[in-house]
Amino acid sequence: MSMMRVFARNMATAAKINNVVVIGGGLMGSGIAQVAAATGHKVTLVEVNDQLVDKAIGSIKKSLERVAKKQFKDDASKGQQFMDGTLANLKGSTKLEDSVASSDLVIEAIVEKMNIKHELFGKIDAVAPPSTIFASNTSSLSIGEIGSVTKREDRFGGLHFFNPVPMMKLLEVIRTEKTSEETYQQLMEFGKRMGKTCITCKDTPGFVVNRLLVPYMAEAVRLLERGDASARDIDIAMKLGAGYPMGPFELSDYVGLDTTNNIMQGWHEKYPENPLFNPPKMLQKLVSEGKLGVKSGEGFYSYKK
Ligand SMILES: C[C@H](O)CC(=O)SCCNC(=O)CCNC(=O)[C@H](O)C(C)(C)COP(=O)(O)OP(=O)(O)OC[C@H]1O[C@@H](n2cnc3c(N)ncnc32)[C@H](O)[C@@H]1OP(=O)(O)O
Ligand SMILES: NC(=O)c1ccc[n+]([C@@H]2O[C@H](COP(=O)([O-])OP(=O)(O)OC[C@H]3O[C@@H](n4cnc5c(N)ncnc54)[C@H](O)[C@@H]3O)[C@@H](O)[C@H]2O)c1
């Protein structure tokens, strides 16, 4: 590569992140797109069909109303300005390749399955500009393994947000052995611009929060399976006895039982010797019955109106 081209590439990657593409508009992708747009980035939210694009934008509007009501409670017109400004920064799309073609940063928030993430990143690596940084919001998979299908492992990292993204202040920034210092700095800078407090973790199962939280959630299911206490009482116990905002069953339903189960299954397959990673049978059964928690209307609890 000529000196000029090296220089041009460095200049390109040193530029501030403005154009952000979020792939997947479910629980997490819609929240990430919302906060990125609210903090001044130009955001494209990519979903698989128009219906899901509309659903994602609809849920962003509802969440924005809640944020505006709180942040601008004494000034409705400022609240409206905030909502209009955020929505003006945001567009939905089903055209993956076109969307990533002018991106500075792509954040993937699709289903927690390695093969599906590989297929996606393989596809977009071929069309995104060389300077574009790729990040995954995976809860539990190895960032290095996800990025291994691309030719930009130095421009690949983890941005692990928490649900609900507009409310949760933490962002875990994951650097693999191949993530460049510059990419890492850009991801940290982007996280700060999103208004998050960033921590750094190595590319290890569950990073910090999920490595502690997911085995705790699974242990709560085992407590229930043994009949030691009811789900309701376990939730009350952890809220009033340990100060958690939600009990483990409320939280599992909130995160999504499919996501929680995928995390446990993946870790169990990779680390079968670790009993902490054994997926509880009750969790698998609920998922096989389509009971995925709040998003499907039923999980450990019923949310049907
Ligand atoms: C598995 C993954 O990889 C990692 C994860 O994400 S693990 C999950 C991490 N998340 C958690 O642990 C969440 C734990 N729960 C909580 O912190 C709180 O219960 C909560 C913030 C979700 C909701 O708070 P809570 O007091 O229980 O309910 P509620 O009164 O409805 O909401 C509190 C405020 O949050 C706001 N809020 C909640 N969800 C919101 C959303 N999606 N968008 C905007 N605002 C929201 C509400 O408007 C409300 O505002 P107010 O204070 O002005 O009334
Ligand atoms: N749920 C949580 O609390 C949470 C928290 C942090 C991280 N995560 C991680 O974030 C990711 C997404 O989780 P979620 O809870 O938002 O899932 P979700 O099921 O709510 O949403 C996933 C969305 O991705 C879309 N999608 C799937 N394949 C796609 C593709 N090829 N192109 C575009 N869109 C596609 C689906 O249509 C769906 O709407 C997962 O990796 C998960 O582990 C989840």
- Kindly indicate the confidence band of residue 135, based on its pLDDT and cuts at 50, 70 and 90: very high
- Considering the domain boundaries, does residue 6 fall inside one? no
- Which pLDDT score is estimated for 15? 61
Residue whose Cα lies nearest atom 10 of ligand 1: it is 163
- Considering the domain boundaries, does residue 219 fall inside one? yes
First to last CA, the chain: 62
pTM for the whole thing? 0.94
Q: Buried b vs exposed e over 233-247: b needs ≥16 C-beta within 10 Å?
A: ebbebbeeeeebeeb
Same domain, 151 and 38: yes
Please state the domain count of the chain: 2
Distance in angstroms (rounded) separating the CA atoms of residues 116 and 136: 12
Among the bound ligands, the one closest to the CA of 29: 2
Residues flanking ligand 2, CB < 6 Å: 23-29, 46-48, 52, 109-112, 120, 137-139, 161, 163, 255-256, 259
- Considering the domain boundaries, does residue 12 fall inside one? no
**Residues 232, 271 contacting (CB under 8 angstroms):** no
Same domain, 220 and 245: yes
Among residues 151, 167, 202, the one where a domain terminates is 202
Centroid of ligand 1 to alpha carbon of 74 (angstroms): 22
Q: How far is CA 11 from the centre of its chain?
A: 29
Q: Is the pLDDT of residue 2 over 80?
A: no
The two structure tokens encoding residue 246: 């939600």
Q: Is the ipTM of this complex over 0.90?
A: yes
Ligand 1 atom nearest to CA at 162: 6
Amino acid at 295: K
- Considering the domain boundaries, does residue 227 fall inside one? yes
HSE (side-chain half, CA atoms, 13 Å) at 211 = 11
C-alpha torsion sign, points 75, 80, 82, 83: positive
167 lines ligand 1 (CB under 6 A): yes
Place of tokens 């609890």: 301
Q: Is the pLDDT of residue 125 over 70?
A: yes
